[in-house]
Amino acid sequence: MPRENVNNLVAFLAVARERSFTRAAAKLGVSQSAVSHTVRQLEGQLGIRLLTRTTRAVSLTEAGERLAKSIGPHFDEIDIQVEALSELRDKPAGTIRITAADYAIKYVLWPKLRKFLPQFPDIKVELVLDNGLTDIVTERYDAGVRMGEHLAKDMISARIGPDFCLAVVGSKSYFANHARPMHPRELVEHTCINFRLPTSGALYAWEFEEDGREIKIRVEGQLIFNSTFDALQATLDGFGLSYIPEEVVRPHIASGRLVRVLEQWSPLWDGYHLYYPSRRQSSPAFVALVEALRYRA
């Protein structure tokens, strides 16, 4: 195959995956007009339209979908094999893309990465914040981070964090005007800060445990967030109660800015795991990263 055709296919695949000429161009390090010209050239060579373009979106035609699915895995394998050659270098090298929730990035990944990265200057790590259950294969991430109970069965995983619990907290100013709840069911009488689940779009029902039984409470309030740290700030500002990982609120409880309630009803959650498809095992850079992130009690 002529080299020009290979370049055309690479450009098309980038647009197909990004669903955007702008993002594809940024990923390839060329101009948007160059990517557009390249894809049109490929469509002219094949004599068939691969993409449907509008002012707001880019979508695949049936032929484009078929081409992307057929050539994508081959180009991915080429990338993996080229990256695997880094094992012949003195030090592991390569770029590793990981998707994780905001809490996991700040409290689980970053404390270990800030020690790991100086030891491996040729390894680049891209952290993408996503509080949903992203399909890492479809989105072409090297790995993702989830709690143990949410892991897909066809993935390899490594525990990278301890079990943890959520804490119901409110500011001193809030409790100056509201009685402290003595049971989770009393939360319906309080102003609470809700969390929108990115995957389902539903509001998170606060989960508690009583005598081994699960209790779910649907709370109400003025505010809804999909970020742990935005909810924390609103809580500190006195806008209601929130249910946030204990590690996040611990220093604010210690300083007296927040008050914790209902602690005895908060269950322990299975800790965070790094998960990835089997094809990622061969990269020396990835192996080094997994070992650095692995949780050791």
Q: What are the pLDDT digits (tens) for 65-106?
A: 898 888 888 887 777 777 666 555 667 888 999 999 999 999
Of 32-41, 203-212, 277-286, the poorest mean pLDDT is in: 277-286
Q: Which residues of 104-118 are buried (b: 16+ CB within 10 A; e: fewer)?
A: bbbbbbeebbeebee
Q: Residue 272 pLDDT more than 90?
A: yes
240 and 183 belong to one structural domain: yes
137 and 172 belong to one structural domain: no
Residue 109 sits in which domain range?
89-162+271-293
168 and 256 belong to one structural domain: yes
pLDDT at residue 198, rounded to an integer: 85
3-state secondary structure of 56: coil
Within a domain: 211: yes
183 and 246 belong to one structural domain: yes
30 and 117 belong to one structural domain: no
The first and second tokens of residue 180, run together, are 């402290």
242 and 276 belong to one structural domain: no
Give the residue with greater pLDDT, 187 vs 285: 187
278 and 158 belong to one structural domain: yes
169 and 255 belong to one structural domain: yes
125 and 181 belong to one structural domain: no
Taking the C-alpha atoms of residue 12 and residue 63, their distance in angstroms, rounded to an integer, is: 12
Within a domain: 18: yes
Are the beta carbons of 99 and 134 closer than 8 angstroms?
Answer: yes
Within a domain: 118: yes
Tally of domains within the chain: 3
Give the residue with greater pLDDT, 43 vs 174: 174
Q: What is the pTM of this model?
A: 0.73
